[in-house]
Amino acid sequence: MTDTRSSNPPELRPDLAPKLQIGDSPRADQPTLGMVSLGCPKALVDSERILTRLRAEGYGISPDYTGADAVIVNTCGFLDSAKAESLDAIGEALKENGKVIVTGCLGAEPDYIREHHPRILAVTGPHQYEQVLDAVHQAVPPAPNPFVDLLPAAGVKLTPRHFSYLKISEGCNHKCKFCIIPDMRGKLASRPVHAVLREAEKLVSSGVRELLVISQDTSAYGLDRKYSTHPWKDSDVRSHIQDLSRELGRLAPADELWVRMHYVYPYPHVRELIPLMADDRNALLPYLDIPFQHAHPDVLKRMARPAAAAKTLDEITAWRATCPDITLRSTFIVGYPGETEAEFQHLLEWMDEAQLDRVGCFKYENVDGARSNALPDHVSEAIKQERWERFMEKAQAISEAKLEAKVGKTLQVIVDDIDDEGIATCRTKADAPEIDGNLFIDEGTEGLNVGDLVQVEVDEAGEYDLWGQITGS
């Protein structure tokens, strides 16, 4: 495999989940496992589910290789650079520990993994929880102590206590030519709405202040279930993104809970969510994460994307008319096979018109098994890099102007961290963890705690971040 990490290193990839945060302390003589979780938030949820099952069986969780009896590596296969990163992680785990079980998206290619690392104990594909457990049982037999091994109601969380990813479905029905995720994770398989709401309710009752709703295609939620209806509280609720969003937004008052939508395709029915976002009583944030990928209709056609850029601009205008404070984030691919300078210029002009708030960008990479590999007229690495730089310069200028307009405004923020010097790292409603910007408070943070929701007056803006002072809770 060609190492293409120089093309899209991890810090330039907008698909990554937050880093693992394991604060467990295994008891004496308890069998322990380490976990390396790579890739997107959906993979992080898989890691949480695996560790929750293992904790229920009496296993401890080790924060490092040397303290573990074996290591599970949850891999990513989204790009060739991600595959290389996964292989490196497997190699490091083998070197430091020796007993390694591989799962996740790259696990769908077991021969490929064993070709590079023949000493691994087992390989399983994405969301194959039972197979992972079987492999762990063989490598490290369980030794549960029912009087000691108590599992929290919310399960094992690998994110900070105050926010949590809520996965509502697996798989995807689209056939985008650059993507192999449907081959790895299968077709759309939605969870029933009452199961999602029950999990969300438990998370909120355990102290979670922000729910980040994720899937491969959030807008399509429930389509495979024919939008089946299930009892919830005193009414029946459809397995549909509109009903789910409404009910999630009712789990707690809007000043106590944030509900954030990720990976939303701009289907017509998405417009039904916007009034909920504009309703101050509903906890659904005025935030949409939409993977547009490009704007030129010919490029979108070559990508086999399920969206039309011209109609998308009309939708954006309509969304902002209903909810002026809505934040729109997206990801784009530059240098897609056949992309001409005129098509790229069209994308820049579209960006000028769309004025998206938060933007990430990939340089196109071939991925083994993707149909885009066979397309003609691949773009040179030098041109990809040059277009990426021009695109990010445009996106940065838009971001800087939008943030400058927030100076003097009072915003609600969530506190993510407070360092030893008392500087608080926070996020506004416009910022998802890891992928968007931050708001920093550098004085007056005494009595502030991680997870607090507070009011802050913005007094300074940069290219991607804000600074401010606390005005109230």
pLDDT digits (tens, 9 = 90+) for 71-119: 999 998 877 888 889 999 999 999 999 999 999 889 988 999 999 999 9
Cβ–Cβ < 8 Å for 452, 210: no
- How far apart CA 203 and CA 166 sit, in angstroms, is 9
* Total residues found in the chain within this entry: 473
Strands (E), 327-409: 327-334, 358-363
> Strand order in 163-167's β-sheet?
163-167, 210-214, 258-261, 284-289, 327-334, 358-363
Given a cut of 80, whether residue 375 has pLDDT beyond it is yes
DSSP string covering 271-323: GGTHHHHH-TTS-EEEEEE---B---HHHHHHHT-S--HHHHHHHHHHHHHH-
**323 labelled binding-site residue:** no
Strands (E), 117-177: 122-123, 163-167, 169-170
The number of beta carbons lying within 10 Å of the beta carbon of residue 9 is 11
- Predicted local confidence at residue 4, as pLDDT: 37
Report the helix count and the strand count for the chain, using DSSP H and E.
12, 20
Query: Which CATH class for the 160-289 domain?
Result: alpha beta
Please enumerate in sequence order all residues whose Cβ is within 8 A of that of 70, keeping only pairs 6 or more positions apart, or say none. Answer: 33, 34, 97, 99, 100, 101, 121, 136, 139, 140
- How far apart CA 68 and CA 62 sit, in angstroms, is 6
Quick one: residue 360, left, alpha or beta (phi over 0 = left, psi -120 to 50 = alpha)? Answer: beta
The model's confidence at residue 2, banded by pLDDT at 50, 70 and 90, is very low
Q: Poorest-confidence range of 31-40, 61-70, 209-218?
A: 61-70
3-state secondary structure of 103: strand
Write down the domain spans for the chain.
10-139, 160-289, 410-472
Mean pLDDT, rounded, for 207-215: 92
Q: What does each C-alpha distance from 91 to 36, 82, 94, 114 come to in angstroms? A: 12, 14, 5, 11
**426 labelled binding-site residue:** no
Percentage of the chain modeled with pLDDT above 70: 89
Which phi and psi angles does 79 have, rounded to 5°?
Answer: -135, 165
The token pair at 245 is: 């969003």
Tens digit of each residue's pLDDT (9 = 90 or more) over 377-426: 999 999 999 999 999 999 999 999 999 999 999 999 999 999 999 999 99
The number of beta carbons lying within 10 Å of the beta carbon of residue 314 is 10
Sign of torsion over alpha carbons 195, 191, 416, 288: negative
**40 labelled binding-site residue:** yes
- Out of 3.40.1400.10, 2.40.50.140, 3.40.50.460, 3.10.180.10, select the CATH number for domain 410-472: 2.40.50.140
The model's confidence at residue 195, banded by pLDDT at 50, 70 and 90, is very high
Give the containing element (helix H, strand E) for 54.
helix 41-56
Global pTM value: 0.77
**361 labelled binding-site residue:** no
**179 labelled binding-site residue:** yes
Q: What does each C-alpha distance from 215 to 109, 320, 341, 404 come to in angstroms? A: 22, 24, 33, 32
| Same topology between domain 10-139 and domain 160-289 | no
The token pair at 178 is: 């650059």
Q: Of 357, 322, 368, 302, which Cα lies nearest the Cα of 81?
A: 368
Mean pLDDT, rounded, for 287-307: 90
The model's confidence at residue 210, banded by pLDDT at 50, 70 and 90, is very high
Burial label for 256, CB within 10 Å (0-12, 13-18, 19+), is exposed
Given a cut of 60, whether residue 26 has pLDDT beyond it is no
Which phi and psi angles does 200 have, rounded to 5°?
Answer: -60, -40
Which phi and psi angles does 351 have, rounded to 5°?
Answer: -60, -40
Query: Which CATH class for the 10-139 domain?
Result: alpha beta
- How far apart CA 43 and CA 78 sit, in angstroms, is 11
β-pairing, 453-461 vs 466-472, is antiparallel
- Predicted local confidence at residue 1, as pLDDT: 32
Cβ–Cβ < 8 Å for 305, 294: yes
Cβ–Cβ < 8 Å for 19, 49: no
Within 164-192, residue ranges assigned H as helices are: 181-185
- Predicted local confidence at residue 60, as pLDDT: 82
